[in-house]
């Protein structure tokens, strides 16, 4: 087994450690596990360095999916341009359209009517 074949398990283990650290700080285990899979040690550093969220503070979550789709669109477009896999521009365009629709829908929901 070469170094590149065995490093996937280390990345997975680091994502599990990141999820455990996030849970101790009162954050979503699942969200930080997925971020740990994509960002690796950067996600672990973010969990360790960011302060614990204050209790009782309500955050505005209307834009989360729109921002996620926008980040996915930018990432797919960058990968398509840098690797010459131009077929990736199709899902990048779809992700950008989804981000636009979700952003438009997020504006229509008043913050006061969100469940707490």
Q: Which domain holds residue 81?
A: 64-113
Q: In angstroms, rounded to a whole number, what is the distance separating the alpha carbons of residues 74 and 60? A: 23
Instruction: List pLDDT tens digits, range 7-31.
Output: 778 888 988 999 999 888 888 888 8
d(CA 42, CA 54): 23
Task: Please indicate, yes or no, whether residues 33 and 69 belong to a single structural domain of this protein.
Answer: no
One domain for residues 68 and 45: no
Q: Kindly report, residue by residue over 73-107, the tens digit of the pLDDT.
A: 888 888 888 887 888 788 888 888 888 888 888 77
Domain count, the chain: 2
Cβ-Cβ contacts under 8 Å for 116 (sequence gap 6 or more): 58
């Amino acid at each position: 087994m070469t170094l590149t074949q065995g490093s996937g398990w280390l990345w997975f283990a680091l994502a599990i450690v990141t999820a455990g650290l996030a849970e101790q700080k009162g954050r979503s285990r699942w969200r930080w596990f997925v971020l740990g899979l994509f960002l690796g040690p950067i996600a672990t550093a973010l969990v360790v360095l960011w302060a614990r969220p204050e209790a009782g503070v309500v955050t505005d979550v209307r834009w989360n999916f729109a921002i996620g789709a926008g980040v996915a669109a930018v990432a797919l477009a960058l990968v398509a341009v840098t690797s010459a896999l131009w077929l990736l521009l199709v899902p990048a365009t779809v992700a950008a359209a989804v981000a636009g629709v979700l952003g438009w829908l997020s504006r229509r929901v008043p913050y006061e009517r969100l469940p707490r």
